[in-house]
Structure 1
Amino acid sequence: MRATVALCNSFRTPLIRFVGKRSVPKSVDHTPRVHPASPTGNLPDSFAAYRAKAQQHGPLGRAQFTGGTSGASLGPVRPSPGEFFDRAELPTRFGRLLLTDAEIEAIETGGASMYA
């Protein structure tokens, strides 16, 4: 009990120490700038113009969200050459390895069955 009382009465001191007073910059430049790794090197005219051209798992246009078009009207979805949608479509060399009963038992017992 005495240890708990001693812990409750002590106060916590932070382990990090800051040097000097806190200073807020007097002027911060918030003008938009192009990211150094930007592929185009220029800013979009407006967010609406950017959103009209942007893609994230498909077009971000408003027509899709209003229910005006169905998924079937967009056409079939096919992978590009060299791309696969499922692991089963890959060549057999990339398939799953089949485990023998001895290997399964060794995994389940943590290897103890190999020495018993």
Structure 2
Amino acid sequence: MRVTSALCSATRTPLIRFVGKRSIPQSVDHAPRAHPASPTGTLPNSFAAYRAKAQQHGPLGRASFNSTIGGHSGASLGPVKPQNGEFFDRTELPSRFGRLPWTQAEMEAIETGGASMFA
């Protein structure tokens, strides 16, 4: 059987069928416009003006490079302490929530990819 010749001789027909003739628009307006969901509905005057007011993960202006938070330095905010019942690290939790030690069987199962459990 000559499968290769049968595949090469077959013509490929696309599964998508387009209705009508392809038409390319004569003129396309590429002028910048405000996004329909924009809160103001207007474009900024310049990129620098936009960047001065924009916030993504904090202010993007020059003040963000001074390592300040809301106009105050981090040192002036004071020490950070957890509230009652909050913990910053797992080692601060009671011993019942601590990590359990690995058994020799578990370590061997991990090292062999689980094959030692079925051998």
Q: TM-score, normalised by structure 2?
A: 0.47
Computing the radius of gyration from Cα coordinates, the structure with the larger value is: 2
